[in-house]
Amino acid sequence: TRHVDRRLFPLKVGLSMPNAPSAPAATGNQRRAVRPPPRGSMPPNDAPHPSESAATEVEALKAIEGATDVLAVVAAMREYPRFEILQYRACQLLSILTGGDAEKMSRARNAGAFEAVVLAMQTHAFSEAVQGQACLALFNLNTGADVENGFRAGKAGAVERVVAALLRHLGCASVQEKASPALYNMTCKNAANLIRAKNAGAIEALVAVLRKHATNQGVQISSIKTLMNMTGYFCTMEHRTRAINAGAIEVLVAAMTGFLESGEVQTLACRGLQNLTAEIEEHRIRAGNAGA
């Protein structure tokens, strides 16, 4: 059985983002208007879903207004893929409605929640709000001991989408704080997803995040935890080698130096360095040269 260590990542439900898209106000002339997708969200030649051609965002939002079941939420995500505000709120609802409950997570999985979230991330790749809430939904949908959720997420392409979010929104701390835990949950004791993450460039992405957000304690903690998971002893030496080549030793030492008063950062960074240096003397020398 699989169990995600709740001490590493406490359950997050329904967190909002400061840059969430706002719902448009409805007017008489707008109700039948076709609204264009957010700029950069989809290729210009993509045809809208038939339902979208005669719907406004306000009308689309009615599909999830007061929703108490994941089936309605997933159905709305599929029906209105181009509406950014709907996708944002739907991802938020998936977190709220599942809330770490195994039965509800299974119901969401069977309804196609993973595929719907991945589609939202693909369609609104440049929306920090959607990317953040989608990562949070993936985190919550992969909480617990049900290994099937991780397999389904991996098969749907969720691992690759989260890595893409890490890279595309490298400078956005709120996305990084949600993407790293989502990646952790999907790769925890899941060899197939670990390989997917490695092949997608997750190790290098995490090192880049640590380097970019050197003064953000929250990002440092979540990213180090996930990097530790991807370079532990149950992973291949290739994972650790890639991390070292990307500069993981140096960013971990920098984290220890930058957060001297944080016991959590110190502990995590030390464990991360242990993963990377325990086997090869050259790596220990490199850590020493970095100031470890």
**Fold that domain 1-200 belongs to in CATH:** Leucine-rich Repeat Variant (1.25.10)
pTM: 0.82
* pLDDT single digits (tens) 37-47: 344 444 334 44
- Written as six digits, the tokens of 188 are 């925890």
Cα separation, 120 vs 11, whole angstroms: 22
Structure tokens belonging to residue 54:
């005669």
Let me know if 216 is exposed, middle or buried by CB neighbors in 10 A (0-12, 13-18, 19+): middle
Break the chain into its structural domains and give their ranges: 1-200, 204-292
Q: Estimate to the nearest angstrom the gap between the alpha carbon of 40 and the chain centroid.
A: 20
62-94 pLDDT per residue, tens: 888 888 889 999 999 999 999 999 999 999 999
pLDDT digits (tens, 9 = 90+) for 112-163: 999 999 999 999 999 999 999 999 999 999 886 678 899 999 999 999 999 9
